[in-house]
Amino acid sequence: MEARPMSIRAAREDDLVAINEIFNSYVDSSPCTSRTDPMSLEDRLTWFHGHTKALPVLVAIEPSGLLVGWASLSLFRSQQTYPLVVEVSVYSRPGYARSGIGKRLVVCLCSEAARLGYRSVIAVISDANQCAVSLFQHLGFVQAGHLRELYLKHGVLYGIYYYQLSLSPLNEPA
């Protein structure tokens, strides 16, 4: 499919309804997230406030103004301190698959991660999520681990893959 025209920019608070709507549309329909209950807007706002300049959230916007995808950098294992690595998440609007949104967002976010001085970016992907595996492999991420049977969703057991992209070392993370 042809890449859709879109612009990428930093997320704003008034994007959170659309960001959350896209995320929640996968909660019930897909094992791509282990979550089984929709995220509230209040929790999404808290999440957004935790995304400082060093942990950006980007959105993809169509010329019509519709938010068609988002991606974020988060601390990798937030209870630990691994300041040189960040975790990437990416979600494109259902019905807009395979039109270049995920790729554009992850490419922009990885350049942001390099600019911010991180050494690598990790994607945590359900082991049933072949689309995401292809997306990250396509962008140079390599498999760095497979943890099996971590969660049950709709009666099926799923694990996760870790995929990692090494970035050129720049400065200390901001």
**CB distance 115 to 150 below 8 Å:** no
How many angstroms separate the CA atoms of 8 and 70, rounded? 9
Is residue 73 involved in binding ligand COA (CB under 6 A)? no
Amino acid at site 4: R
With binding defined as CB under 6 A, does residue 109 bind ligand COA? no
Collect all residues with Cβ–Cβ distance below 8 Å to 138 and sequence separation of at least 6.
103
Residue 68 tokens read as 């068609």
- Residue 20 sits in the site that holds ligand COA (CB under 6 A): no
Specify the residue for token string 């991660």. 113
Which of 10, 45, 66, 97 is the binder for ligand COA (CB under 6 A)?
Answer: 97
44 contacts ligand COA (rule: CB under 6 A): no
- 12 contributes a contact to ligand COA by CB under 6 A: no
Residue 161 C-beta: closest distance to ligand COA, Å: 10
Instruction: State in angstroms the smallest separation of the CB of 115 from ligand COA.
Output: 21
Q: What is the DSSP letter of 47?
A: H
Residue 29 in contact with ligand COA, rule: CB under 6 A: no
Number of helices (H), then strands (E), in the chain: 4, 7
DSSP 116-141: TT-SEEEEEEETT-HHHHHHHHHTT-
89 lies in the binding site for ligand COA (CB under 6 A): yes
Instruction: Answer yes or no whether residue 61 interacts with ligand COA by CB under 6 A.
Output: no
Q: Shortest Cβ distance from residue 172 to ligand COA (Å)? A: 26
Tell me how far, at minimum, the Cβ of 147 lies from ligand COA, in Å: 15
Query: DSSP 3-state assignment of 62?
Result: coil
> Which residues form the interface with ligand COA (CB under 6 A)?
26, 32, 89-92, 97-103, 125, 129-132, 134-135, 138
